[in-house]
Copies of this chain bind each other. A is one copy, B any other.
Amino acid sequence: MSPRPAPDLDRRRYRITRTARDLVESEGWSAVTMRRLASELGVTQPVLYSAFPAGREALLDAVAVSGFEAIAEALEAVEPEALARMHAYLDFAAERTHLYEAMFSLPSGLQFGTGGGPEPLQRAFAALRNAFPGPDSVRTEVAWATLHGLATLRIHGRLPASSASARLHLAHRMLTQLPENDSRGGGIDDG
């Protein structure tokens, strides 16, 4: 019934993902081609497709999830306080630029928030949520959006680096020194 042992696809996926992550961090996304990746692993291209039948995009998704694992760890490494975790978040984005890009710009989309999504995403979201206690997740969602905006605009050089610290502190004040909201904004009418 099984004349030849099936390869350990989980382990293979892990190895490929790790190599892709190393490659993207050291040489950028343009270096992450299927050929280069196979060559780096000492195998040929079709092997990659045995681990990721959906192709390159699925592989990139795996790298992204791996990135969420890393940022979850980075956030959990500091005390569950707003400013500390905000700083950790922005540091992560600044130091691991290409990986951060993969987590947001490239993949097709995996949902955050209270709902589903892969476990590392929920972990990362929870790590931020713990730093912004409150009855609902809205503040955390806005905090994430603000951090993501700051990170992205900084990565792409959109904002002057000189006022980076001022921006972080203002964002921190905004997100913490504001009383709870009671005006029910509804949730049906969105653009």
Residues of A within 8 A of B (CB): 87, 90-91, 94-95, 104-105, 107, 109-115, 136-139, 141-142, 144-150, 152-153, 156-171, 173-175, 177-178, 181, 183, 185-191
Q: Which of B94, B142, B167, B183 contacts A171 (CB under 8 A)?
A: B142
Residues of B within 8 A of A115 (CB): 160
Q: Which of B167, B169, B177 contacts A141 (CB under 8 A)?
A: B167
Residues of B within 8 A of A157 (CB): 109-111
Number of copies: 2
Which of A138, A141, A168 counts the most chain B CB atoms within 10 A?
A141
Which residue on B lies nearest to A148, using beta carbons? Answer: B149
| Distance, CA A139 to CA B178, complexed state (A) | 16
| Distance, CA A114 to CA B162, complexed state (A) | 12
A146-B149, A170-B138, A181-B170 in contact; A186/B165 too (CB < 8 A)? yes
Which of A112, A115, A149, A188 counts the most chain B CB atoms within 10 A?
A149
Residues of B within 8 A of A160 (CB): 111-115
A117 to chain B: closest CB distance in Å? 9
Residues of B within 8 A of A95 (CB): 191
Q: 23 A-B pairs, CB-CB below 8 angstroms?
A: A91-B191, A95-B191, A104-B152, A104-B153, A109-B158, A110-B158, A111-B159, A111-B160, A115-B160, A138-B163, A141-B167, A142-B146, A145-B159, A146-B146, A146-B171, A149-B152, A152-B152, A161-B190, A162-B187, A163-B187, A165-B187, A166-B186, A169-B183
